[in-house]
């Protein structure tokens, strides 16, 4: 039964084969996350007002984090926790950040407090973390806490090629995925539009793709333009959780076979 829900074409989910469901019209699907939210009110509200089922990843303990989470939830959009993790460059983490020096109990307590700081959280992705996501032990502590919490997925932002976060999430049977594209590493309209088209190219090749952007004025403007008429452009924007559900269905189908 589960296999009937899946598209026959095989693509890749976090580096592993999976079959990604398409819309009834056979369009490829993409997911979009806007993260780094919570410190700015106006740009955050502008992001939440973008058309379509985007996900919004919000930094914990920020001035506008709860308000933006409530606003996104009111619009039936996904709310995620943008979990700060230590980087190789010792960038400031802000309150609630996870550090390599933490004990297991300290790290897991911080994770619990960060999740509780943002209402309606259904998933998590890492903010920075080029140091911490390389650590199997700390990632195991994190994923164990997420498993105990239940119902959460994990998106690896892939701030380093050496990340083990997705692999550890898989070991704990947590729904997981890697981002395919950062939309706005370069903050100019031409570069952002190029990365959006690159995301669509990946989605057309593999059956789906996941992009991450930020509430920069240029990013929000390009997304407003590109998301208009999405269906006519041959793709469908879907909630990130939908991709997680497809992964679960594919796993159940493989067990049955």
Q: Tell me the pLDDT band of 234, cut-offs 50, 70 and 90.
A: confident
Could you give the CA distance from residue 35 to residue 32 in angstroms, rounded to a whole number? 10
pLDDT at 4: 32
At 44 the three-state DSSP class reads helix
Phi, psi of 64, rounded to the nearest 5 degrees = -115, 10
Residue 176 resides in a domain: yes
For the chain, the residue count is: 257
pLDDT at 203: 85
Mention every residue, 6+ apart, whose C-beta is less than 8 A from residue 153.
Answer: 122, 123, 124, 174, 175, 176, 177, 240, 241, 244
pLDDT at 251 over 60: no
pLDDT at 150 over 60: yes
At 118 the three-state DSSP class reads coil
- CA dist list (Å): 194 to 2, 183, 187, 197: 36, 8, 11, 5
Residue 5 resides in a domain: no
Residue 116 resides in a domain: yes
User: Between 6 and 158, whose confidence is greater?
Assistant: 158
Residue 35 resides in a domain: yes
Into how many domains does the chain fold? 1
State CA 205 to chain mean position distance: 20
At 31 the three-state DSSP class reads strand
Tell me the average pLDDT of the chain: 87
* CATH code for position 95: 3.20.20.370
Could you give the CA distance from residue 47 to residue 109 in angstroms, rounded to a whole number? 30
Decide the pairing of beta strands 10-13 and 16-19.
antiparallel
Residue 16 resides in a domain: no
Residue 11 resides in a domain: no
Residue 19 resides in a domain: no
pLDDT in tens, 158-177: 999 999 999 999 999 999 99
Could you give the CA distance from residue 36 to residue 68 in angstroms, rounded to a whole number? 12
Residue 257 resides in a domain: no
Q: Tell me the pLDDT band of 11, cut-offs 50, 70 and 90.
A: very low
The domain in which residue 227 lies consists of 24-250
- CA dist list (Å): 151 to 33, 52, 251: 19, 23, 17
């Amino acid at each position: 039964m589960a296999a009937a829900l899946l598209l026959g074409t095989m693509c890749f989910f976090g580096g592993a084969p999976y079959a990604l469901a398409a819309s009834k019209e056979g369009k490829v699907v993409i997911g979009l996350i806007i993260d780094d939210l919570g410190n700015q009110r106006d740009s955050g509200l502008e992001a939440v007002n973008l058309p379509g089922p985007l996900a919004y990843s919000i930094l914990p303990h920020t001035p506008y984090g709860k308000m933006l989470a409530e606003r996104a939830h009111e619009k039936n959009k996904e709310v995620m926790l943008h979990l700060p993790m230590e980087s190789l460059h010792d960038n400031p983490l802000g309150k609630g950040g996870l550090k390599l020096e933490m004990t297991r109990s300290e790290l897991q307590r911080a994770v619990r407090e960060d999740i509780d700081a943002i209402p309606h959280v259904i998933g998590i992705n890492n903010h920075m973390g080029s140091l911490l996501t390389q650590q199997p032990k700390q990632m195991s502590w994190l994923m164990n806490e997420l498993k105990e919490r239940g119902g959460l997925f994990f998106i690896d932002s892939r701030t380093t090629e050496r990340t083990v976060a997705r692999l550890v999430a898989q070991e704990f049977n947590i729904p997981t995925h890697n981002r395919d594209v950062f939309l706005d590493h370069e903050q100019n309209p031409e570069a952002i539009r190029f990365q959006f088209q690159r995301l669509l190219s990946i989605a057309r090749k593999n059956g789906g793709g996941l992009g991450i952007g930020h509430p920069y004025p240029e990013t929000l403007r390009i997304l407003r333009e590109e998301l208009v008429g999405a269906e006519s452009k041959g793709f469908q924007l879907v909630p990130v959780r939908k991709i997680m559900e497809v992964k679960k269905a594919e796993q159940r189908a493989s067990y049955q076979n």
